Copies of this chain bind each other. A is one copy, B any other.
Amino acid sequence: MVDVSEIQETVEFERGRPDIYGAAHPKALLRAIQEDGDYLKDLSNQHVITIDQFEPITLLQLFRLAAKYESNPDRFTSPLQGKILISAFYEPSTRTRLSFESAWHRLGGDIMSITDRSTTGIAKGESLADVGEMFNNYCDCVVLRDNKEESLHQMMDTLRVPIINAGNGIDEHPTQALADMYTIFKWRPDLMASEVPEYERINVGVIGVPGRMRTVRSLLKVFTKFSSAFKKITIIHDENETDIFSPGQREELEDAGIDVNVVTSLEEVICQLDVVYINAIAWVGDSFESHGSKFHLHKDLPFKENAIVMHPLARGEELDTNLDETHHNWYFAQARGAVFLRMALLTCMVQRTSRVMDVI
Protein backbone atom coordinates (compact mmCIF):
# COMPACT_ATOMS: atom_id res chain seq x y z
CA MET A 1 0.00 0.00 0.00
CA VAL A 2 1.14 3.50 -0.69
CA ASP A 3 2.22 5.42 2.39
CA VAL A 4 0.53 8.73 1.74
CA SER A 5 2.38 10.78 4.34
CA GLU A 6 5.69 9.48 3.01
CA ILE A 7 4.74 10.59 -0.50
CA GLN A 8 3.48 13.90 0.85
CA GLU A 9 6.90 14.62 2.29
CA THR A 10 8.38 14.36 -1.21
CA VAL A 11 5.89 16.81 -2.68
CA GLU A 12 5.70 19.44 0.04
CA PHE A 13 7.41 22.77 -0.45
CA GLU A 14 8.06 25.94 1.49
CA ARG A 15 6.82 29.21 0.19
CA GLY A 16 9.11 31.67 1.78
CA ARG A 17 12.23 31.27 3.68
CA PRO A 18 13.94 34.36 5.04
CA ASP A 19 15.84 35.75 2.12
CA ILE A 20 19.24 35.95 3.77
CA TYR A 21 21.00 36.13 0.48
CA GLY A 22 20.03 39.46 -0.94
CA ALA A 23 18.14 41.19 1.83
CA ALA A 24 14.99 41.40 -0.25
CA HIS A 25 13.38 43.92 1.97
CA PRO A 26 14.53 47.30 0.73
CA LYS A 27 13.54 49.43 3.67
CA ALA A 28 17.00 50.91 3.95
CA LEU A 29 16.78 52.27 0.42
CA LEU A 30 13.36 53.77 1.15
CA ARG A 31 14.75 55.58 4.16
CA ALA A 32 17.80 56.83 2.33
CA ILE A 33 15.91 59.00 -0.18
CA GLN A 34 12.79 61.05 0.16
CA GLU A 35 10.02 60.51 -2.38
CA ASP A 36 9.71 63.24 -5.01
CA GLY A 37 7.50 62.30 -7.92
CA ASP A 38 8.36 65.45 -9.88
CA TYR A 39 11.61 63.92 -10.96
CA LEU A 40 9.76 61.00 -12.56
CA LYS A 41 8.09 63.27 -15.12
CA ASP A 42 10.88 62.74 -17.64
CA LEU A 43 9.86 59.08 -17.84
CA SER A 44 6.36 59.81 -19.07
CA ASN A 45 7.14 60.83 -22.63
CA GLN A 46 10.37 59.05 -23.48
CA HIS A 47 11.04 55.74 -25.09
CA VAL A 48 13.51 53.72 -23.03
CA ILE A 49 16.38 53.16 -25.42
CA THR A 50 19.70 53.82 -23.75
CA ILE A 51 21.04 54.49 -20.28
CA ASP A 52 22.43 57.74 -21.68
CA GLN A 53 18.98 59.36 -21.63
CA PHE A 54 18.48 59.33 -17.88
CA GLU A 55 19.30 61.97 -15.28
CA PRO A 56 20.68 60.50 -12.04
CA ILE A 57 18.00 62.20 -9.95
CA THR A 58 15.29 60.57 -12.07
CA LEU A 59 16.92 57.18 -11.55
CA LEU A 60 17.09 57.65 -7.78
CA GLN A 61 13.36 58.28 -7.68
CA LEU A 62 12.79 55.31 -9.95
CA PHE A 63 14.78 53.08 -7.58
CA ARG A 64 12.80 54.45 -4.67
CA LEU A 65 9.53 53.54 -6.37
CA ALA A 66 10.90 50.07 -7.11
CA ALA A 67 11.80 49.72 -3.44
CA LYS A 68 8.29 50.81 -2.48
CA TYR A 69 6.87 48.07 -4.69
CA GLU A 70 9.33 45.49 -3.35
CA SER A 71 8.48 46.39 0.25
CA ASN A 72 4.77 45.93 -0.38
CA PRO A 73 4.54 43.31 -3.11
CA ASP A 74 0.80 42.70 -2.78
CA ARG A 75 -0.40 46.23 -2.16
CA PHE A 76 -0.41 47.85 -5.57
CA THR A 77 -2.58 45.63 -7.75
CA SER A 78 -4.30 48.14 -9.98
CA PRO A 79 -2.12 51.06 -11.20
CA LEU A 80 -2.08 49.65 -14.74
CA GLN A 81 -5.71 48.68 -14.91
CA GLY A 82 -7.03 49.17 -18.42
CA LYS A 83 -3.55 49.43 -19.94
CA ILE A 84 -2.35 47.04 -22.64
CA LEU A 85 1.27 45.97 -23.23
CA ILE A 86 2.57 44.44 -26.44
CA SER A 87 5.39 42.08 -25.51
CA ALA A 88 7.38 41.56 -28.72
CA PHE A 89 10.28 39.12 -28.34
CA TYR A 90 11.65 38.44 -31.81
CA GLU A 91 14.87 37.21 -30.20
CA PRO A 92 14.11 34.31 -27.94
CA SER A 93 14.11 34.97 -24.23
CA THR A 94 11.81 33.53 -21.66
CA ARG A 95 13.45 35.14 -18.64
CA THR A 96 13.28 38.77 -19.75
CA ARG A 97 9.85 38.32 -21.29
CA LEU A 98 8.42 36.78 -18.11
CA SER A 99 10.08 39.47 -16.00
CA PHE A 100 8.31 42.22 -17.94
CA GLU A 101 5.03 40.36 -18.25
CA SER A 102 4.99 39.52 -14.55
CA ALA A 103 5.64 43.19 -13.71
CA TRP A 104 2.77 44.32 -15.94
CA HIS A 105 0.36 41.70 -14.59
CA ARG A 106 1.25 42.47 -10.95
CA LEU A 107 0.04 46.01 -11.55
CA GLY A 108 -3.24 44.92 -13.11
CA GLY A 109 -2.56 45.43 -16.82
CA ASP A 110 -3.29 43.26 -19.88
CA ILE A 111 -0.80 41.76 -22.30
CA MET A 112 -0.59 40.66 -25.92
CA SER A 113 2.49 38.60 -26.80
CA ILE A 114 4.28 38.31 -30.13
CA THR A 115 7.07 35.78 -30.16
CA ASP A 116 7.37 35.01 -33.83
CA ARG A 117 8.63 37.63 -36.20
CA SER A 118 7.39 35.75 -39.21
CA THR A 119 3.76 36.22 -38.28
CA THR A 120 4.06 39.97 -38.17
CA GLY A 121 3.57 41.89 -41.35
CA ILE A 122 7.34 41.84 -41.64
CA ALA A 123 7.00 38.46 -43.31
CA LYS A 124 4.64 40.13 -45.77
CA GLY A 125 7.15 42.86 -46.55
CA GLU A 126 5.71 45.37 -44.09
CA SER A 127 8.08 48.05 -42.82
CA LEU A 128 8.84 48.38 -39.13
CA ALA A 129 7.61 51.96 -39.29
CA ASP A 130 4.22 50.58 -40.30
CA VAL A 131 4.39 48.02 -37.50
CA GLY A 132 4.91 50.98 -35.14
CA GLU A 133 1.89 52.80 -36.56
CA MET A 134 -0.12 49.61 -36.09
CA PHE A 135 0.95 49.26 -32.46
CA ASN A 136 -0.36 52.78 -31.77
CA ASN A 137 -3.88 51.45 -32.26
CA TYR A 138 -3.52 48.37 -30.15
CA CYS A 139 -1.64 49.15 -26.98
CA ASP A 140 -0.31 51.64 -24.46
CA CYS A 141 3.27 50.38 -24.31
CA VAL A 142 5.63 48.11 -26.23
CA VAL A 143 8.55 46.00 -25.02
CA LEU A 144 10.85 44.86 -27.82
CA ARG A 145 13.77 42.47 -28.01
CA ASP A 146 15.36 41.92 -31.40
CA ASN A 147 18.76 40.75 -32.53
CA LYS A 148 18.58 43.31 -35.34
CA GLU A 149 19.79 46.47 -33.66
CA GLU A 150 17.93 48.83 -35.97
CA SER A 151 14.41 47.46 -35.47
CA LEU A 152 13.88 49.60 -32.41
CA HIS A 153 14.81 52.82 -34.16
CA GLN A 154 12.71 52.08 -37.20
CA MET A 155 9.66 51.61 -35.02
CA MET A 156 10.37 54.80 -33.10
CA ASP A 157 9.78 56.82 -36.26
CA THR A 158 6.05 56.27 -35.99
CA LEU A 159 5.30 55.15 -32.44
CA ARG A 160 3.07 57.39 -30.33
CA VAL A 161 3.16 55.03 -27.37
CA PRO A 162 6.35 54.34 -25.41
CA ILE A 163 8.67 51.48 -26.32
CA ILE A 164 11.24 49.80 -24.09
CA ASN A 165 14.43 48.36 -25.51
CA ALA A 166 14.62 44.91 -23.91
CA GLY A 167 17.83 44.15 -25.73
CA ASN A 168 18.73 45.07 -29.28
CA GLY A 169 21.54 43.17 -30.95
CA ILE A 170 24.74 43.87 -29.05
CA ASP A 171 23.80 47.48 -28.45
CA GLU A 172 22.07 47.95 -25.09
CA HIS A 173 19.82 46.37 -22.49
CA PRO A 174 18.94 49.39 -20.34
CA THR A 175 16.40 47.88 -17.94
CA GLN A 176 18.84 45.15 -16.97
CA ALA A 177 21.41 47.79 -16.05
CA LEU A 178 18.82 49.76 -14.10
CA ALA A 179 17.87 46.59 -12.22
CA ASP A 180 21.56 45.95 -11.53
CA MET A 181 22.14 49.46 -10.16
CA TYR A 182 18.98 49.10 -8.05
CA THR A 183 20.43 45.89 -6.62
CA ILE A 184 23.72 47.61 -5.74
CA PHE A 185 21.85 50.44 -4.00
CA LYS A 186 19.67 48.03 -2.03
CA TRP A 187 22.85 46.38 -0.83
CA ARG A 188 24.57 49.70 -0.03
CA PRO A 189 22.05 52.59 0.18
CA ASP A 190 24.84 54.84 1.42
CA LEU A 191 26.26 54.80 -2.10
CA MET A 192 23.31 56.88 -3.30
CA ALA A 193 24.62 59.98 -1.52
CA SER A 194 25.87 62.81 -3.72
CA GLU A 195 29.13 62.69 -1.81
CA VAL A 196 30.47 59.28 -0.89
CA PRO A 197 33.65 59.20 1.21
CA GLU A 198 36.62 57.66 -0.66
CA TYR A 199 36.99 54.75 1.71
CA GLU A 200 33.34 53.79 1.23
CA ARG A 201 33.46 53.67 -2.54
CA ILE A 202 33.38 50.25 -4.11
CA ASN A 203 35.59 48.22 -6.42
CA VAL A 204 33.62 46.44 -9.07
CA GLY A 205 34.95 43.59 -11.22
CA VAL A 206 33.14 42.91 -14.47
CA ILE A 207 33.93 39.61 -16.20
CA GLY A 208 33.15 40.01 -19.86
CA VAL A 209 33.91 41.96 -23.02
CA PRO A 210 32.40 45.44 -22.78
CA GLY A 211 32.47 46.05 -26.52
CA ARG A 212 30.50 42.92 -27.40
CA MET A 213 27.93 42.49 -24.62
CA ARG A 214 24.88 44.71 -24.38
CA THR A 215 24.40 43.96 -20.70
CA VAL A 216 27.89 45.22 -19.92
CA ARG A 217 27.56 48.17 -22.26
CA SER A 218 24.48 49.44 -20.42
CA LEU A 219 25.96 48.57 -17.03
CA LEU A 220 29.07 50.69 -17.54
CA LYS A 221 26.88 53.59 -18.65
CA VAL A 222 24.77 53.43 -15.50
CA PHE A 223 27.94 53.40 -13.42
CA THR A 224 28.89 56.78 -14.93
CA LYS A 225 25.58 58.20 -13.70
CA PHE A 226 26.60 57.44 -10.12
CA SER A 227 30.35 57.85 -10.40
CA SER A 228 30.83 58.89 -6.78
CA ALA A 229 29.85 55.39 -5.69
CA PHE A 230 32.83 53.78 -7.44
CA LYS A 231 36.50 53.69 -6.76
CA LYS A 232 37.49 51.43 -9.62
CA ILE A 233 36.00 49.24 -12.32
CA THR A 234 38.14 46.26 -13.27
CA ILE A 235 37.36 44.49 -16.52
CA ILE A 236 38.40 40.84 -16.48
CA HIS A 237 38.46 39.18 -19.86
CA ASP A 238 40.01 36.24 -21.66
CA GLU A 239 40.22 37.56 -25.16
CA ASN A 240 43.50 37.67 -26.98
CA GLU A 241 42.70 40.99 -28.49
CA THR A 242 43.45 44.35 -26.96
CA ASP A 243 40.28 45.83 -28.41
CA ILE A 244 37.75 44.87 -25.75
CA PHE A 245 36.08 48.25 -25.51
CA SER A 246 33.98 49.85 -28.19
CA PRO A 247 35.00 53.41 -29.15
CA GLY A 248 34.53 55.81 -26.25
CA GLN A 249 33.42 53.20 -23.74
CA ARG A 250 36.52 53.36 -21.55
CA GLU A 251 36.73 57.13 -21.84
CA GLU A 252 33.13 57.56 -20.64
CA LEU A 253 34.05 55.92 -17.34
CA GLU A 254 37.33 57.76 -16.93
CA ASP A 255 35.73 61.10 -17.79
CA ALA A 256 33.22 60.44 -15.03
CA GLY A 257 36.12 60.09 -12.58
CA ILE A 258 36.11 56.29 -12.26
CA ASP A 259 39.41 54.41 -12.50
CA VAL A 260 39.43 51.65 -15.09
CA ASN A 261 41.65 48.62 -14.96
CA VAL A 262 41.87 45.73 -17.41
CA VAL A 263 43.22 42.28 -16.52
CA THR A 264 43.04 38.74 -17.81
CA SER A 265 43.43 37.03 -14.46
CA LEU A 266 40.58 36.82 -12.00
CA GLU A 267 42.72 35.43 -9.22
CA GLU A 268 44.91 38.52 -9.41
CA VAL A 269 42.10 40.87 -8.44
CA ILE A 270 39.26 38.99 -6.80
CA CYS A 271 40.33 39.69 -3.21
CA GLN A 272 39.96 43.43 -3.86
CA LEU A 273 36.49 43.32 -5.39
CA ASP A 274 33.35 44.38 -3.53
CA VAL A 275 31.14 43.36 -6.44
CA VAL A 276 31.93 40.56 -8.86
CA TYR A 277 29.70 40.83 -11.93
CA ILE A 278 29.80 37.96 -14.39
CA ASN A 279 27.94 37.43 -17.63
CA ALA A 280 29.81 34.93 -19.68
CA ILE A 281 27.40 34.20 -22.45
CA ALA A 282 26.56 36.80 -24.99
CA TRP A 283 23.81 36.50 -27.57
CA VAL A 284 25.18 37.87 -30.78
CA GLY A 285 23.09 37.78 -33.93
CA ASP A 286 21.49 34.39 -34.08
CA SER A 287 23.83 32.42 -31.88
CA PHE A 288 25.89 32.49 -28.78
CA GLU A 289 29.41 33.61 -28.42
CA SER A 290 31.11 32.44 -25.36
CA HIS A 291 33.11 35.17 -23.72
CA GLY A 292 34.91 34.65 -20.50
CA SER A 293 34.52 30.92 -20.75
CA LYS A 294 37.70 30.25 -18.87
CA PHE A 295 36.35 31.95 -15.79
CA HIS A 296 34.56 29.99 -13.14
CA LEU A 297 33.16 31.56 -9.98
CA HIS A 298 32.82 29.17 -7.06
CA LYS A 299 32.73 29.44 -3.30
CA ASP A 300 36.37 28.62 -2.66
CA LEU A 301 37.78 31.59 -4.49
CA PRO A 302 39.44 34.19 -2.22
CA PHE A 303 36.46 36.57 -2.23
CA LYS A 304 36.58 39.70 -0.13
CA GLU A 305 34.65 39.03 3.08
CA ASN A 306 31.44 40.89 2.17
CA ALA A 307 31.74 40.73 -1.59
CA ILE A 308 28.59 40.14 -3.58
CA VAL A 309 28.29 38.22 -6.84
CA MET A 310 25.94 39.40 -9.56
CA HIS A 311 24.87 37.69 -12.77
CA PRO A 312 21.94 38.71 -15.00
CA LEU A 313 21.15 34.98 -15.58
CA ALA A 314 20.59 32.57 -17.30
CA ARG A 315 23.84 31.09 -16.00
CA GLY A 316 25.93 28.24 -17.27
CA GLU A 317 29.06 26.70 -15.82
CA GLU A 318 30.72 30.05 -15.17
CA LEU A 319 28.71 30.53 -11.98
CA ASP A 320 28.88 27.48 -9.75
CA THR A 321 25.75 26.43 -7.89
CA ASN A 322 27.85 26.02 -4.75
CA LEU A 323 27.77 29.80 -4.42
CA ASP A 324 23.96 29.77 -4.13
CA GLU A 325 23.87 29.10 -0.40
CA THR A 326 26.61 31.59 0.47
CA HIS A 327 26.13 35.19 1.51
CA HIS A 328 27.89 36.25 -1.71
CA ASN A 329 24.79 35.24 -3.65
CA TRP A 330 23.04 38.43 -4.68
CA TYR A 331 22.14 37.17 -8.17
CA PHE A 332 18.81 35.75 -7.06
CA ALA A 333 17.94 39.02 -5.35
CA GLN A 334 19.04 40.74 -8.55
CA ALA A 335 16.50 38.74 -10.58
CA ARG A 336 13.74 39.32 -8.07
CA GLY A 337 14.43 43.04 -7.81
CA ALA A 338 14.33 43.35 -11.60
CA VAL A 339 10.59 42.69 -11.58
CA PHE A 340 9.99 45.54 -9.14
CA LEU A 341 12.30 47.86 -11.06
CA ARG A 342 10.32 47.14 -14.23
CA MET A 343 7.06 47.70 -12.36
CA ALA A 344 8.31 51.15 -11.36
CA LEU A 345 9.47 52.03 -14.85
CA LEU A 346 6.29 50.84 -16.56
CA THR A 347 4.12 52.75 -14.10
CA CYS A 348 5.90 55.99 -15.00
CA MET A 349 5.91 55.37 -18.72
CA VAL A 350 2.15 54.97 -19.01
CA GLN A 351 1.53 57.96 -16.77
CA ARG A 352 0.08 56.14 -13.79
CA THR A 353 2.46 57.44 -11.10
CA SER A 354 -0.35 59.45 -9.54
CA ARG A 355 -1.89 56.14 -8.45
CA VAL A 356 1.13 55.20 -6.33
CA MET A 357 2.84 58.37 -5.16
CA ASP A 358 2.25 59.49 -1.57
CA VAL A 359 2.12 63.12 -2.61
CA ILE A 360 0.73 64.01 -6.03
Contact = CB atoms under 8 A, between A and B. Distances in A.
A250 interface: no
Given A13-B156, A52-B4, A313 B115 contact: no
Interface stretch (A233-241, A302-310, A332-340): A332-340
A92 interface: yes
Contacts of A133: 332, 335
A123 interface: yes
Contacts of A13: 45-47, 156, 159-162
A116 interface: yes
A99 B15 contact: no
Contact of A52 (B7, B53, B93, B288): B7
B336 A137 contact: yes
A125 interface: yes
A58 to B, nearest CB: 9
Contacts of A16: 160
A339 B121 contact: no
Contact of A1 (B42, B97, B256): B256
A1 B113 CA distance: 38
A83 to B, nearest CB: 9
A112 interface: yes
Task: Tell me which of A15, A77, A99, A338 has the highest count of chain B C-beta atoms within 10 A of its own C-beta.
Answer: A15
Given A15-B161, A17-B160, A160-B13, A288 B124 contact: yes
Contacts of A335: 133-134, 137
Nearest to A81: B77
Interface string A126-145: 11011001101111000000
B138 A98 contact: yes
A50 interface: yes
B86 A82 contact: no
Interface string A75-92: 001000110101001001
Majority SS at the chain A contact face:
mixed
A105 B110 contact: yes
A45 B16 CA distance: 11
Given A93-B119, A281-B124, A45 B12 contact: yes
Contacts of A7: 50, 52-53
Interface string A161-200: 1100000000000000000000000000000000000000
Task: Tell me which of A55, A86, A110 has the highest count of chain B C-beta atoms within 10 A of its own C-beta.
Answer: A110
Given A8-B42, A13-B159, A315-B130, A2 B52 contact: yes
A300 interface: no
Contacts of A84: 102, 105-106
Given A11-B156, A12-B45, A124-B288, 8 more contacts: A7-B50, A13-B161, A15-B160, A92-B123, A95-B121, A102-B138, A124-B281, A124-B316
20 contacts: A8-B46, A11-B47, A12-B46, A12-B47, A13-B161, A13-B162, A15-B45, A15-B161, A82-B106, A86-B98, A89-B119, A92-B119, A98-B112, A99-B138, A115-B116, A124-B316, A125-B316, A130-B314, A134-B314, A137-B338
